[in-house]
């Protein structure tokens, strides 16, 4: 054939392919989510093979391992004891609580590692919702925000570098920014869960923290989070959320879940100059692990391809439970 242009020319050798490769993955792109509990030993999580509920000691060791692999940020999630859960989730701003203690300990042992936190009531609420549930079963917006601000300040005081509001209440980014500034934490950043969808992909995470919505009394409890998390049918609405978060002072915008929402990542990339993060969530992790365990897919190849595709879609940062494995594979070449 007489073809002028043959795209295969640049795919012919590894050297040529490396020269024209548009995106690279590196361990510094990853934010590593870690679960922590009060127990003295690490506990495996059924639906997330390889992930643990870490003891404080175990957490310190795991964060050291992540640092050595080139990972520069971790995000912490607490498994809170049932006895500490209340309707208003007030344990969330206890400065002696599990998360503030974990942050202080990590900052002693690994001071250079960036620490991100999650701001929402669900791990601390007996109802399992991210906000306060009224006696009529409504998740209250403005009443919840004052608690979230206190939670964010407690985390900043313990030494957090990046505060991650995941609650999807309206106006929370601006309120948290103001609360942090008032307390002298103007240097602490906000990585906002900007476009967080009401997704079934969070199932394994809710198992890890025992945080699924549930009724514990006669109070009616919404079965899902669809009055505050976004409808998976909506793409344009993510741009509205992004605009609000930018105006309110977010430093980084996040899309969650990741894989089924690459179009949303791409749209935010086109609209904003802020760094964009993608959350490769627990259900996405569980699917890969389950298929790999059965020998149906090549785990290493699938994980590295998936993470790279987040970058191609427009993400600068990726929250992923595969972070350490992927960093090791990148190092092995």
Q: Which residues bind ligand PBG (CB under 6 A)?
A: 118, 120, 122, 130, 166, 202, 205-206, 225, 281-282
- When the beta carbons of 42 and 125 are compared against ligand PBG, the nearer one is 125
Tell me how far, at minimum, the Cβ of 289 lies from ligand PBG, in Å: 13
Query: 289 catalytic, yes or no?
Result: no
Tell me how far, at minimum, the Cβ of 120 lies from ligand PBG, in Å: 4
Given 79, 196, 225, 289, the catalytic residue: 196
Tell me how far, at minimum, the Cβ of 13 lies from ligand PBG, in Å: 39
Tell me how far, at minimum, the Cβ of 189 lies from ligand PBG, in Å: 18
Main-chain phi, psi angles of 260, to 5 degrees: -80, 5
The region, left, alpha or beta by phi > 0 then psi within -120 to 50, assigned to residue 171 is left
Tell me how far, at minimum, the Cβ of 102 lies from ligand PBG, in Å: 16
- When the beta carbons of 33 and 189 are compared against ligand PBG, the nearer one is 33
- When the beta carbons of 156 and 191 are compared against ligand PBG, the nearer one is 191
Given 85, 225, 256, 311, the catalytic residue: 256
- When the beta carbons of 47 and 309 are compared against ligand PBG, the nearer one is 47
- When the beta carbons of 168 and 327 are compared against ligand PBG, the nearer one is 168
Query: 85 catalytic, yes or no?
Result: no
So which residues are the catalytic ones?
A: 196, 256
């Amino acid at each position: 054939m007489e073809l002028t242009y043959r795209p295969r020319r640049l795919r012919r050798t590894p050297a040529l392919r490396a020269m024209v490769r548009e995106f690279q993955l590196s361990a510094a792109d990853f934010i590593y989510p870690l679960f922590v509990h009060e127990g003295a030993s690490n506990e495996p999580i059924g639906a997330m093979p390889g992930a643990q509920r870490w003891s404080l000691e175990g957490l310190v060791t795991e964060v050291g391992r992540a640092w050595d692999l080139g990972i520069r940020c971790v995000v912490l999630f607490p498994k809170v004891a049932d006895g500490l859960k209340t309707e208003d989730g007030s344990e969330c701003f206890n400065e002696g609580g599990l998360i503030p203690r974990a942050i202080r300990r990590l900052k002693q042992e690994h001071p250079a590692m960036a620490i991100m936190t999650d701001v929402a009531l669900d791990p601390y609420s007996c109802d399992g919702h991210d906000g306060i549930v009224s006696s009529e079963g409504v998740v209250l917006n403005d009443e919840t925000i004052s608690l979230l601000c206190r939670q964010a300040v407690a985390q900043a005081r313990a030494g957090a570098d990046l505060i991650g509001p995941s609650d999807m209440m309206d106006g929370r980014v601006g309120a948290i920014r103001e609360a942090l500034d008032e307390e002298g934490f103007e240097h602490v950043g906000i990585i906002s869960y900007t476009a967080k969808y009401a997704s079934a992909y969070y199932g394994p995470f809710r198992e890890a923290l025992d945080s699924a919505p549930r009724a514990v009394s006669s109070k009616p409890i919404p079965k899902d989070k669809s009055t505050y998390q976004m409808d998976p049918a909506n793409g344009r609405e993510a741009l509205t959320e992004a605009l609000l978060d930018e105006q309110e002072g977010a430093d980084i915008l996040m899309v969650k879940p990741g894989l089924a929402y690459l179009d949303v990542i791409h749209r935010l990339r086109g609209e904003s100059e802020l760094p964009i993060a993608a959350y490769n969530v627990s259900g996405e992790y569980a699917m890969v692990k389950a298929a790999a365990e059965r020998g149906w897919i090549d785990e290493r190849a699938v994980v590295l391809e998936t993470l790279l595709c987040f970058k191609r879609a427009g993400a600068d940062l990726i929250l992923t439970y595969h972070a350490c494995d992927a960093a090791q594979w990148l190092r092995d070449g």
